[in-house]
Structure 1
Amino acid sequence: MRKKIILCLQVFVLSVMLLSCINDDVTADMAVQPEFSCEVLDMGTVFTGLPSPVYAFKVYNRDKDGIVIGSIAFRDESVTGRFLLNVDGASGEVFENILIRGKDSIYVFVEAVLPPVGTPEPVRVSVPLDFMTNGVRSTVLLEASAQDVVHVESVTLDGVTEWDARYPYNIYGNVTVPEGSTLNIARGARLYFHAGAGLHVYGHLVVDGTSDAPVVMCGDRFGCVASSAVPYDVVPGQWRGIELSGASSDGNMNYTTVANTERGIVADGTSRLHLLNCRLRNSSSSVLSAVGADVTAVGCEFSGAPSGVVVLDGGHHLFNHCTIANDYIFAPVEEAMLILKAEHTEVSCANSIVYGLGALMSPLDISGRSVFFERCLLKANGIDDAGFSEILWGFDPRFDVSLEEYRFDYRLTSGSPAIGAGDASLSLPESSVDYYGLQRGAAPDLGAYVYRDTPQSN
């Protein structure tokens, strides 16, 4: 019992000592002002009529004494209801007498709900948020691009449906194209899918992108993942992806980016998929999976997946001037970049590159299979045989990739062995230009993209 009493006294004394270390003094010195983790909080693109993701910044008190922020409020009262705040755990639009102890900080969380702007082009919104401390005003500017969109809930599109490029589409739930129906997506269209949303095609999908007006299908998050520098445009698993199912389904997709998916594009049954200068990126499983379906891919990039970048199970497949690459950073890479499941899977691959994390192909031994690689750069070391002809074995293609900067650009850089290494006689006529509209010429580069000795941009 005596030991317990002594222990309690020790705990009490320690608690008093710790409390005595907290400085409750508050300064009214005008020179002592809060500091902010940013002067401008850029919330990126915000779809009008819908709540934005929540963004945050920190307010620091660098002084040894506490400070009281007399008020936190929007300078323009007309923004009431458009920007919602949470300051140090309390929600509201106006805050008074917020204490920040010495050498401490608080969080301010911001959510925007912006009204329609009435134009296809985004409208920049800039709102001052004022902090009054010891008679001095400090300001953090809240900025966003208000973008009107076409809101699409779960829907079945019967007959022929045209989606144009005037406004972006923000899609919740499943969009279904039934057998005998067609969805035409115009050049320059932008489709932003919410979590759990997807496109399921039993009929026909026609995507008519061009080099100067490509089509984008991706998740509907912008900016960076909270408290990190990871941009959402490289984050997989944000929406389900595209599925082609049934004997009469087919997809013809030109100059289209499909990114941030759970499953990429899945084609099954006896569906047919034709891809020209497309980019399938960042999936939490595979970016392309074909089960019994036929796939033709020309000038395409397939990149970023942990469970096989491209998975082919039966069917007839042609890859011409394609890049299959993997620098996946969100989970261990468990499978080869190219997986061939059924023995009767037929593949012809020419003027292409397969390089990155994971094994080259599974199975690597393709003896007796209808699988042919001609004039390709392949990650593995090997020798030519009946299935491999004029191969650049084990060379680094020198992609413009930087994991530290989250840049996954699979265009070639100076000194790449893939530059000018293609065989023009193997290039299909429709491969004459790449995704960026660059001509391949008489001595084409291997892979999806033409090397350009100038600063590159996406």
Structure 2
Amino acid sequence: MRQYFILFIFGLFLAFSSCRTDFDTVASSGNLKFSKDTVYLDTVFKNIGSSTYQLKVYNKSKNDISIPTVQLKKGLSSKYRMTVDGMSGNNGKIFNNVTLLAKDSLYIFIETTADITDADPTDFLYTDEIQFDSGANLQEVALVTLIQDAVFLYPKQNPDGTKEKIKIDGKDVDGFYLNENDPVNGNELIFTKQKPYVIYGYAGVPQNKTATFEAGARVFFHANSGLYVDNKASLQINGTTSATEKLENEVVFEGDRLESLYDDIPGQWKSVILSNGSTNHSINHLTLKNAITGLDIRSQDNTTIQIKNTQIYNCAEYGILAQNARINGENIVINYAGLTSLSCVYGGNYLFTHCTFNNNWSNSPQFAVNLSNSLAGATPETNPLTQATFNNCIIYGSNTNEFNLDKNTNAAFVYQLNNCLLKFSSSSTNPDYQFKTDAVHYNQIILNENPKYYDASNNKFNIDNTSSAFAKGNQDYIIPLDIIGATRTSPPDLGAYQSAVFPK
């Protein structure tokens, strides 16, 4: 008897299951709920695909429903495309009889690829709607994307189907040389603010030529891309002071992913390389972020590179890597580097005044500043460090020691810190780190006191009058204006920023 009872229950279960295979759905009644009423797809460049965005659709009723149509209002001509619960529908534009169970939800994933000509010419927005059902039951969710026009620079295709290449460090890499008489772009050696530039591969500055970046120029580098300045070529970055946080007059180098998710992700592109023998460089008001190495500076042609009012953030390896270079730096700010914010190796000659070298990278050991007069594998392995002087600077970060000296006694190693705030928390008997007693190398050092930045985690290094760096600078080294153009008072504050009310 017990066996018959079990078979009876099992039969009822099968009958119930078979009658539920079509879910007994009822027609949608226009009462769907949505995770948002407008889906904003972040800014994209023309004809470059966007990231994927999601919309969640809820059936709050007690009935399983069937939505007769889920479609883009512009139909098959829409520049948007969707998947609905994993289904591709008709070219990702139109879906029929979409089932949604009671008290359940489904996901819609949305992408777009559009040209500037598809956008509204007054605001460059491309829009559409997702329509659910029709007539009295019609519900809509808006889609909005800002399309940016841009100048695209990339390696050409060779007749044999391979990509154009240039040599960097003896290796062929995907790249091209900028052309001052390009039939499409005109003079590619002059970067203006009229349109942003998107670079694929390495853009090379040819020998005996100069690449000039005018105030307000915006350059976006694709993955594995960068800028390469060849032997006897020059780089001139001519940004100026901006009045707002939009940095409207800065020259900006960053990756080409415009979604907010990528704002602070390191390593999205490679580097700006100033090669051996390149010459007469000047960098002013540059903001560079999210590279592997920001500025990779090699031995210069007996000229000193001027770097002023420059910010470098979120680099996977180095903010500035200088090898036997000559640099005069003023009002530089560097933060978040996977290895070192400023690394001067294989000797050279360096003078930094009113700079903030910080490293808040979460792992250790990273440094804010590293100095070395050697380089493994070089011939010879040592090279004289003839000067490394830091005046009115801050050298700080999240690790115990943010200052490192890698000294080889086979070559000169000349360094001096004057009126600097320095983080070096561990005690050391090494004679190179006697900050209070070694007057040859250290003068007026503030050791291990918090500079009280406004918000270092978000790269805001402004200070106010409660900072340990307030009014601790030496007037003899003063740079009259700080990194944002504020007038320095006497005695000046340490670092790149003159103290003021914190930004809002």
How many angstroms does 1:444 deviate by? 2.0
Q: Secondary structure at the match of 1:262?
A: strand
1:262 to 266, 279, 292: 292
How many angstroms does 1:64 deviate by? 5.2
State the one-letter code of the partner of 2:265.
Answer: V
How many angstroms does 1:424 deviate by? 2.2
1:240 and 2:291 are equivalent in the alignment: no
Equivalent runs, 1:342-353 vs 2, <5 Å: 342=373, 344-345=384-385, 346-353=387-394
Equivalent runs, 1:145-156 vs 2, <5 Å: 145-154=146-155, 155-156=176-177
CA deviation vs aligned residue, 1:271-295 (integer Å, no higher than 9, x gap): 5532110111111111110111112
Aligned to 2:444: 390
Q: Secondary structure at the match of 1:240?
A: strand
1:421 and 2:451 are equivalent in the alignment: no
Closer, same or farther: CA 124–348 of 1 in aligned 2, 3 Å: same
Aligned equivalents of 2:343 and 2:62: distance in 1?
60
How many angstroms does 1:65 deviate by? 4.3
CA deviation vs aligned residue, 1:137-192 (integer Å, no higher than 9, x gap): 33322112211101111330256821111111011111001221110111100001
How many angstroms does 1:206 deviate by? 0.4
Aligned to 2:183: none
Aligned equivalents of 1:278 and 1:402: distance in 2?
16
State the one-letter code of the partner of 1:132.
Answer: D
Q: Secondary structure at the match of 2:281?
A: strand
How many angstroms does 1:63 deviate by? 4.5
How many angstroms does 1:47 deviate by? 0.9
How many angstroms does 1:360 deviate by? 1.3
1:93 and 2:63 are equivalent in the alignment: no
State the one-letter code of the partner of 1:256.
Answer: L
Q: Secondary structure at the match of 2:476?
A: helix
How many angstroms does 1:260 deviate by? 0.8
How many angstroms does 1:103 deviate by? 4.0
Aligned equivalents of 2:121 and 2:500: distance in 1?
33
CA deviation vs aligned residue, 1:98-153 (integer Å, no higher than 9, x gap): 22334433322222222224999962333322223895333322112211101111
State the one-letter code of the partner of 2:337.
Answer: A
Q: Is the 8 A contact 2:39 2:141 kept in 1?
A: yes
Equivalent runs, 1:296-315 vs 2, <5 Å: 296-313=328-345, 314-315=347-348
Q: Is the 8 A contact 2:271 2:292 kept in 1?
A: yes
State the one-letter code of the partner of 1:142.
Answer: L
TM-score, normalised via structure 1 length: 0.84
Aligned to 1:452: 500
Equivalent runs, 1:94-113 vs 2, <5 Å: 94-113=94-113
Equivalent runs, 1:103-182 vs 2, <5 Å: 103-117=103-117, 123-132=124-133, 136-154=137-155, 155-157=176-178, 161-182=189-210
Aligned equivalents of 2:438 and 2:407: distance in 1?
11
Closer, same or farther: CA 131–400 of 1 in aligned 2, 3 Å: farther
Aligned to 2:485: 437
Q: Secondary structure at the match of 2:220?
A: strand
Q: Which moved more, 1:26-35 or 1:50-59?
A: 26-35
Equivalent runs, 1:155-234 vs 2, <5 Å: 155-157=176-178, 161-202=189-230, 203-212=233-242, 213-224=249-260, 231-234=261-264
Equivalent runs, 1:308-327 vs 2, <5 Å: 308-313=340-345, 314-327=347-360
Q: Secondary structure at the match of 1:166?
A: coil
CA deviation vs aligned residue, 1:414-437 (integer Å, no higher than 9, x gap): 62222222222212xxx3223322
Aligned equivalents of 1:61 and 1:374: distance in 2?
68
Q: Is the 8 A contact 1:35 1:61 kept in 2?
A: no
How many angstroms does 1:67 deviate by? 3.3
Q: Secondary structure at the match of 2:467?
A: coil
Q: Is the 8 A contact 1:239 1:262 kept in 2?
A: yes
* Unpaired stretches in structure 1, ≥5 consecutive residues: 1-11, 225-230
**Structure with the greater alpha carbon radius of gyration:** 2
Aligned to 2:428: none
Aligned equivalents of 1:142 and 1:29: distance in 2?
22
Aligned to 1:357: 398
Aligned to 2:282: 252
Closer, same or farther: CA 126–423 of 1 in aligned 2, 3 Å: farther
Q: Is the 8 A contact 2:453 2:462 kept in 1?
A: yes
Q: Secondary structure at the match of 1:263?
A: strand
Closer, same or farther: CA 205–351 of 1 in aligned 2, 3 Å: same
2:455 to 393, 397, 401: 401
Aligned to 1:7: none
Aligned equivalents of 1:121 and 1:322: distance in 2?
42
Q: Which moved more, 1:191-200 or 1:264-273?
A: 264-273
* Unpaired stretches in structure 2, ≥5 consecutive residues: 1-9, 156-175, 181-186, 243-248, 375-383, 426-434
Aligned to 2:172: none
Aligned equivalents of 2:392 and 2:132: distance in 1?
60
Closer, same or farther: CA 28–181 of 1 in aligned 2, 3 Å: same
Closer, same or farther: CA 158–32 of 1 in aligned 2, 3 Å: closer
Aligned to 1:379: 423
Aligned equivalents of 1:433 and 1:58: distance in 2?
51
1:340 and 2:371 are equivalent in the alignment: yes
TM-score, normalised via structure 2 length: 0.77
Q: Is the 8 A contact 1:130 1:139 kept in 2?
A: yes
